[in-house]
DNA sequence: TGTATAATGCTCAGTATGAGTAAAAGAGAG
DNA sequence: CTCTCTTTTACTCATACTGAGCATTATACA
C-alpha cells in the first residue's frame, strides 16, 4: 500500500476592528462560515506567506499588510474514520487590516459572536455562568479519576473561585469546551449527536479553533508589540485607539491611565490637528515609528484581570 | 506535468541546561550537526506531536516532557535550483528536558557555540563589535537606497547607539545576519563562496535558524510561564534556578532581587531540607504548581537590557 | 445660558523594581 | 580553634510604575 499524499492548506484569520467590534473575515460559500483558505501550490508558491496573500486576494479581494504565522494543525481528525485520500496539514496565519470592503462572498463576522465568552468589556458575560459553567461542572464530575484535574483546569481558565480571568487563555478555554463536548463541532467531529446547542457561531472544520488561536495570540502580542496600529488609519484619537484595544483585549480600560501609558511610552505623537467627537474635540495622534528604536518591547501593558 | 509531492518533516530543538550552559541536542551522522528530524508518516502518525516524540525517541533515545510547536518553514530554498522531487515543509518544535544521556550518535551542543552573540552574561560579547558590526555596516552601506532602513534594523536588533539590547530578538538578529550574508549558510544556500568565516557553528540546512527561533521563543516564554522548571530536577536551590534562567536569558541577574521576585511571586516553596554548595548551605526549593491557579501569567520578569 | 458629553489634566496611595549594604552559615587553611 | 573565603539570606531605600479617583476644559445642543 502506498503512502497517502499530503496536502498543505493555508488558512487566514483576517482581523479588523470597527464600531468597537473586532471582526474576522469569513467566506460564506458553504453553510457554516469559514475563513479564507486554500491549498499550497507546491510548485508555484515560493513561500507560504505569498501563497496566503494570493488566497486572500482571490477569495476576499483584500490586500493584507501585517501577516504572522500562527500555528500548524496536522492531527488526524477524529471525524475522518475512513482513511482519507490525503493527509491534510494546515498552516494558519493571522493578518491585520484596516477595515475595507471585502469581495462578494466574503463578509466580516463579529469575533464575539464566534467566542461570546471572551468579551468582558461590560463585565463578565452572563453566558459563562448560564451556559458554560453548569456543563463544565457536569464534565468535571463525569470522570471520577480526572475530576480533580478537570476542576482545576476549568477554574484556572474560566476565572472561577480565586483565579483572575486571563484574557490571553483564549485557546485553552476553547480546547476545554471542545474536550468537554460543549461546542457543537466537538460532536460533529466525534460523529455523535449534539446534546444541547451552546452560544457561539460554529464554523467550518477546525476554523473556530484557529480563530481562538488568533485571538489569544493577538491579545498577547498587544502587550509587547505595537500591533494595534495596523488596524487603525494613519491618524486617530486616543479614545479610538483605546476602543480598538478594548475591543481586542475584551476588557475595559481606565481612560486616563491608558492615555498616560500610551503617551509616556512614546507610542504616539500628536499631530496638532483636532477632530470633533460629540464632546470636547480630541487631538489626532499618529503612531511614532521610532518607539521601536527606543524601547525594546513597545506595547500596551494591559491588565488582563 | 503533475504537481510535485509534498513532504512534511518534524524538527525538534531539544533543550537542557547543565553547568550554566544551555544545550541543544544534535545528531551527528553527517558533517554539519543537525537537530533530530524526520518525515511525518501521513498514515501512521495520528498527531504531529506524537510523530515528533517518536523521532526523538528513535534518534536520541530521549523521552521529552514539555513540547511546544515553534514554527513551520516551507519556503522554497534558494539553493535548490533544480525543481526538487518534493516540496519540503518542516514543522519545528521546542522540547525541554532535564538533561539525560542521549543515545550514541546524538550529543549536547552548547547553544552559545551556535549563536555566540547571544550570551551577555559577562557583558556584551566582543564578537559583536569585532566580527559582526563591521560586516553589518558594510552591508548597510552596500545599497544606497536601503541604507537607512538597514542601519535602523541593525541598530535596533544589535543594541547599537541608544537602543538597549533586547534578548528576545534572537531570530531577528539571525535573519539580519543571514540577509547580510554574514552566516556561512547564507552562502551555501545562495551557492556563492563564503567570503569570510564568522563565529558560530554552522548547522545542517536551516537548523540554525530553527535554533534561533527556539531560543527567542524560550526567552520570551520565561517571562510569563513557569517553563524553567521543566529543565530542573524536582528540588533545587535558588541559585541553581537563577543560573538556569541566566543561561537561557543570556543576561546576569541581581541575586537578591531574583530571590525576592521568585519568592514573592509564589513560584517556589521551600522544602526545609538544605544542601551544601561551597558557601552557606542553601535551602532546597520546589516548584509550586499552584501558582498557575493563583496568578494568570506566572513567570520571571527578566529585564532584557 | 444651562446641560450633556467627551477629552484632558492632576493627585495620591500602594506596589514593584534596581541597586546596594550587611549579616549568617558553612568549608577549609593555617 | 580562629580566620578567611564563599555563598546564601535578610534588609533598606530611592525611584518608577499602577490603579483609582477627582477636577477641569472644550465643544454641541436644548
Tens place of pLDDT per residue across chain A (305 aa): 456 789 999 999 999 999 999 999 999 877 789 999 999 998 889 999 999 999 988 888 888 989 999 999 998 875 454 556 788 999 999 999 998 787 788 899 999 999 999 999 999 999 999 999 999 999 999 999 999 999 999 999 998 887 888 999 999 999 999 999 999 887 776 666 666 667 889 998 899 999 999 999 999 999 989 999 999 999 999 999 999 999 999 999 999 999 999 999 999 999 988 888 888 899 999 999 988 888 877 887 777 65
The answer to whether A130 contacts chain B (CB < 8 Å) is no
- B46–A76 C-beta distance less than 8 A: yes
The confidence score (pLDDT) of residue A162 equals 78
Q: Using an 8 Å Cβ cutoff, are B119 and B125 in contact?
A: yes
d(CA A56, CA A299): 28
CATH of domain A224-294: 1.10.10.10
Q: Give percent above pLDDT 90 in chain B.
A: 63
A261 Cβ contacts chain D strand, under 7 Å? yes
Does residue B243 surpass a pLDDT of 60? yes
The confidence score (pLDDT) of residue B197 equals 66
Separation of B115 CA and D8 C1' (Å): 33
d(CA B28, CA B9): 18
The string of pLDDT tens digits covering residues B159-174 is 888 788 999 999 999 9
- B8–A89 C-beta distance less than 8 A: yes
The architecture that CATH gives domain A5-111 is Alpha-Beta Complex (3.90)
- B4–A6 C-beta distance less than 8 A: no
User: Residue B252: left if φ>0, alpha if ψ -120 to 50, beta else—which one?
Assistant: beta
Q: Find chain A residues with C-beta within 8 A of B89's C-beta.
A: 8, 89, 91
The confidence score (pLDDT) of residue B304 equals 60
- A75–B71 C-beta distance less than 8 A: no
The confidence score (pLDDT) of residue A161 equals 81
The answer to whether B291 contacts chain A (CB < 8 Å) is no
- B166–A296 C-beta distance less than 8 A: yes
The closest nt to A305, taking CA to C1', is D19
What does the mean pLDDT of chain B come to? 89
Strand B86-96 relative to strand B5-18: parallel, antiparallel, unpaired? parallel
d(CA A115, CA A24): 11
- A74–B48 C-beta distance less than 8 A: yes
B79 Cβ contacts chain D strand, under 7 Å? no
CB atoms within 10 A of CB A4: 14
Which of A4, A42, A87 faces B3 most closely, judged by CB atoms? A42
The confidence score (pLDDT) of residue B2 equals 54
Q: With the C-alpha atoms ordered A164, A165, A169, A174, is the resulting torsion angle positive or negative?
A: positive
- A226 class by beta-carbon count within 10 Å (0-12 exposed, 13-18 middle, 19+ buried): buried
Phi, psi of B72 (to 5 degrees): -115, 125
What secondary structure, in 3-state letters, does chain B show?
Answer: CCCCEEEEEEEEEEEEEECCEEEEEEECCCCCCECCEEECCCCCCCCHHHHHHHHHHHHHCCCCCEEEEEEEECCCCCCCCCCCCEEEEEEEEEEECCCCCCCCCEEEEEHHHHCHHHCCECECCHHHHHHHHHHHHHHHHCCCCCHHHHHHHHHHHHCCCCCCCCCCCHHHHHHHHHHCCCCHHHHHHHCCCCCCCCCCCCCCCCHHHHHHHHHHHHHHHHCCCCCHHHHCCCEECHHHHHHHHHHHHCCCCCHHHHHHHHHHCCCEEEEEEEECCCCCCEEEEEECCCHHHHCCCCCCCCCCC
- For residue A67, give the DSSP letter: E
The confidence score (pLDDT) of residue A279 equals 82
The confidence score (pLDDT) of residue A1 equals 46
Q: Which residue has the cell 538578529?
A: B173
Interface probe, candidates A7, A72, A157, chain B, greatest B C-beta count within 10 A: A72
Q: Using an 8 Å Cβ cutoff, are B90 and B10 in contact?
A: yes
The answer to whether A292 contacts chain B (CB < 8 Å) is yes
d(CA B249, CA B285): 21
Q: Which residue has the cell 541536542?
A: B25
The confidence score (pLDDT) of residue B1 equals 46
The confidence score (pLDDT) of residue A252 equals 94
Q: Is the domain covering B228-294 a CATH 3.40.50.2000 domain?
A: no
Phi, psi of A134 (to 5 degrees): -55, -45
**Cell of residue B168, nine digits:** 528576545
Separation of B275 CA and C30 C1' (Å): 27
Phi, psi of A156 (to 5 degrees): -60, -45
CA B167 to chain centre: 11
Residue extents of the structural domains in chain A: 5-111, 121-199, 224-294
Which of B69, B75, B293 faces A48 most closely, judged by CB atoms? B75
Shortest CA gap A221–chain B (Å): 11
Which of B72, B293, B296 faces A91 most closely, judged by CB atoms? B72
Task: Residue A231: name the closest of A56, A123, A99, A44 by CA.
Answer: A99
Cβ neighbours of residue B155 closer than 8 Å, sequence gap 6 or more: A293, B161, B163
A 8-47: CB under 8 A from B: 8, 40-43, 46-47
Confirm whether A5-111 and A224-294 share one CATH topology.
Answer: no
Q: Find chain A residues with C-beta within 8 A of B164's C-beta.
A: 295-296
B 103-122: CB under 8 A from A: none
Does residue B195 surpass a pLDDT of 70? no
Separation of A293 CA and D8 C1' (Å): 39
Amino acid at each position: 500500500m502506498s503512502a497517502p499524499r499530503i496536502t498543505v492548506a493555508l488558512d487566514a484569520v483576517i482581523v479588523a476592528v470597527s464600531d468597537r467590534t473586532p471582526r474576522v473575515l469569513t467566506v460564506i460559500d458553504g453553510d457554516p462560515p469559514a475563513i479564507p483558505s486554500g491549498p499550497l501550490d507546491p510548485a508555484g508558491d515560493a513561500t507560504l506567506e505569498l501563497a496566503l496573500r494570493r488566497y486572500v486576494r482571490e477569495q476576499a479581494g483584500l490586500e493584507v499588510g501585517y501577516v504572522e504565522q500562527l500555528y500548524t494543525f496536522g492531527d488526524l481528525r477524529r471525524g475522518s474514520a475512513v482513511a482519507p485520500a490525503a493527509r491534510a496539514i494546515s498552516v494558519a496565519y493571522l493578518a491585520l487590516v484596516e477595515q475595507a470592503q471585502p469581495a462578494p462572498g466574503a463578509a466580516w463576522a463579529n469575533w464575539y459572536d464566534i467566542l461570546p465568552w471572551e468579551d468582558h468589556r461590560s463585565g463578565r458575560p452572563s453566558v459563562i455562568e448560564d451556559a458554560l459553567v453548569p456543563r463544565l461542572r457536569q464534565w468535571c464530575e463525569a470522570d471520577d479519576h480526572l475530576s480533580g484535574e478537570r476542576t482545576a483546569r476549568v477554574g484556572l481558565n474560566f476565572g472561577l473561585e480565586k483565579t483572575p480571568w486571563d484574557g490571553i487563555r483564549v485557546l485553552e478555554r476553547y480546547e476545554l469546551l471542545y474536550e468537554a463536548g460543549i461546542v457543537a463541532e466537538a460532536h460533529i467531529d466525534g460523529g455523535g449527536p449534539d446534546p444541547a446547542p451552546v452560544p457561539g457561531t460554529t464554523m467550518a472544520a477546525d476554523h473556530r479553533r484557529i480563530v481562538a488561536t488568533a485571538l489569544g495570540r493577538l491579545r498577547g502580542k498587544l502587550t509587547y508589540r505595537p500591533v494595534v496600529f495596523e488596524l487603525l488609519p494613519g491618524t486617530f484619537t486616543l479614545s479610538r485607539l483605546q476602543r480598538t484595544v478594548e475591543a481586542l483585549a475584551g476588557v475595559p480600560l481606565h481612560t486616563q491611565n491608558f492615555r498616560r501609558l500610551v503617551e509616556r511610552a512614546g507610542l504616539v505623537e500628536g499631530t496638532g490637528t483636532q477632530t470633533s467627537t460629540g464632546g470636547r474635540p480630541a487631538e489626532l495622534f499618529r503612531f511614532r515609528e521610532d518607539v521601536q528604536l527606543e524601547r525594546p518591547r513597545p506595547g500596551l501593558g494591559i491588565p488582563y484581570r
